[in-house]
Structure 1
Amino acid sequence: MITLLLFGSFLVFLLFSVPIAISLGLASSFALLFSGKVSSTYIAQGLVTSIDSFPLMAVPFFILAGDLMGEGGLSRRLLNVANVFFGRYTGGLAVIGVVTCMFFAAISGSGPATVAAIGGLLLPAMARAGYEKGFSVGVIASAGSLGIIIPPSIPMIIYAVSANVSITEMFIAGAVPGLLIGLALILTAYIKARRAGYTGSQTRYTTKEKLATLWEAKWALLVPVIILGGIYGGIFTPTEAASIGVIYGFLVGVFVHKEIKIKSLYEVISRSALTSSTVIVIVGTATIFGRMLAIERIPFMIAESIVNLTDNPILILMMINVLLLIIGMFMETLAAIIILVPILLPVVVAVGIDPVHFGIVMILNLAIGMVTPPVGVNLFVGARVAGTSLEKASVGSIPFILAMFAMLALVTYVPWISLALVKLMG
């Protein structure tokens, strides 16, 4: 009955368009009050203890760093670099979108932020060049999901905290899968653009012009080197790296590029604070929801059922992939991670699957969920920026989703792809 009340009330709230963070909190409260197993103060205590974590401090810092760098003109300069090197190829603007999203992913750590920053600059240009809007949104929304795959990644931080694994190891493990997915999206965009007749730019840039564009974007190109190099080199922790990113973004935006004014600085901080508070509330209420599952021993029962069904790691990963793909269509990424990690991690560990490898598999699944309706947050953001319908954006994203499916299968069943760098860097 408690389990039915927990999930039933949660689904009812979602059907009435109650925000997912509030839905999780209310469902947990109803189930807790009905069960009477613990005091009602457990909810307040859980909300505090769930976010009382040093690693979680990286989340608001990375969000603010991404917003500062986007406002400070770094994303535009990255776009210029991609344009001079890739703009002349077939489907050049689509390829530019993927490449720029890959770079910006190493700045923002967020899928929707990547789509908003790059899409806001590129989607109007693609429309002027005659690109079909569904195709344009599909490629940018899919590439935007690299924001949670290529490190630094906010969902990776949440997974690492929930699974008690190293954030640094998660970041290292995400690098190669992120690059592979980026290459798969570029290939897909090229093939689709060639069939549709989307030619590249006729402008040819000299070596001097290319070097000048690279030099203008040097501060943007240094961001991944500073943040990821510092983390991988053991110079600072991910949380410290996030705060350094904020300072770097502020100094470059205000004093170097001089594109962040006092008024816009207030708007950037306000926007970042709103996003961060939303994330923190989701983390808190999803943690309470997960603890209610634990009280009812639901994770143990599910894990036992799966293991009794089969102990074959290949079949278990296949079933988990299907489950995660479905859940990613309906549930916000961070909430899904916090709720599902306690359920699924014991299952995969029991059959010898590395927790870091499983974390990458989970992130890839949920990244695909960001471009699959009905939630499909990247599609919503891209469609709004492009001024097109969600239906057209969904159809346009199908080839890119299929490419991501192929990379998901490869990463799932070839653990070396995500673990080789981790083992190499010790």
Structure 2
Amino acid sequence: MSDQQAQSVAFVRDTMLPQEAPPASQTGPVKWVRDNLFPDVFNAVLTLIALFFIYKILAGFLPWLMGGLWTTASLAECREILDGATGGCFSVLTERWNQLLFGFKYPPDQYWRPTLAFVMLFVAAAPLLFAMYVPSKVLYFTALYPFIAFWLIWGGTIVVPLVALLGFIVGYMAFKKVEAASFAGALGAAIVSAAVVWFVGGFLSDAMSGVLALPEVPSRDMGGFMLNFILGVVCVSLSLPIGILLALGRQSDMPIIKWICVVFIEFIRGVPLITLLFVANVVLAYFLPPGTTFDLILRVIIMITMFSSAYIAEVIRGGLAALPKGQYEAADSLGLDYAQSMRLIIMPQALKISIPGIVNVAVGLFKDTTLVSVISMFDLVGMIRGPILASTEWNGVYWELWGFAILMFFPVCYGISQYSQWLERKLATDHR
């Protein structure tokens, strides 16, 4: 080959080769299985063992589920039809679903009321949980929802929740009017103004007892999962702001406020919740004047809220302690007072740090609402252990009822957990 011919040969390709698909072993399900289930010998053995246990569980569970009966009138009839075959007696759910959800005393023709309140809860909670996606005007409905839900669930005249709402509005207006002069004075003015409105409104509600009235349902007639849900939502909603105040009070420079918060937190955290529930049920009545009636659900809400507030306070205190000192100094350098620095700089960062701990307390609190069954309140667990299993028709049914309880509690607790993880990702600012 001459030099001229050698120089005319191109050693660099000037056209692109057509793109080829990656090997089947390096993409799709095959790659996922190899990387996650069989990356090495040890993990492959663990995967095979786990698959064996899953197979054994499903081999026993699926025939029991698929072969179950839903239309029998008693456990004896169910066993007679099965005649030794594998299958669950799910007829207890079709027969007693209303008691499991609403208790055995809530009027059946009024089930629409707590159901409507449950549906409205999602609308009311939307601007609080997904503020970036929901119009801010929905917050007006959120502020009205507690009074609407109370009227729907407990019934009575609508004047009662309207008077309660008016008391909060008047108290807020009094607070804003005096706030510039003194925070303590503004708080006192708000409390006095609201108390006056409620005192006068009490006579007004008695005089207008028939105005837009729903049939009254006393607290003793409420039960089932509805009771667990009411306690969980109300106590979690109340314990968060109270926990924030306790955490700030524990770090206060004023000795009286600091020690009141310290004693409250340490005492409540050192006492089992079941003890506080017994106090709410029995002991609290001894401290009230003779003949005074104090709603049992309200007493339980107070005790559970106190219990969870103490734990949330410690979680938030950990978030406050995790902030660098420079954040406090930055707030001081901007000329912000204590309330402004906490609201605008310190507390948003502390709450973001505290999200996992707050969610942990909220999930635990929702599950702990089942403890009210020990003080003769017929929540979901109380209904299962009491009227249903005590009946001659369904004495001996366990897996079906407790499986239903799992199906009620798990979605709520899992949903709270997933929302917290989504919120952490939305609030992430470190770009890790």
* Higher gyration radius (CA): 2
Q: Larger helix proportion, structure 1 or 2?
A: 1
| Higher RCO (Cα < 8 Å, 6 or more apart) | 1
Q: TM-score, normalised by structure 1?
A: 0.29
Q: TM-score, normalised by structure 2?
A: 0.29
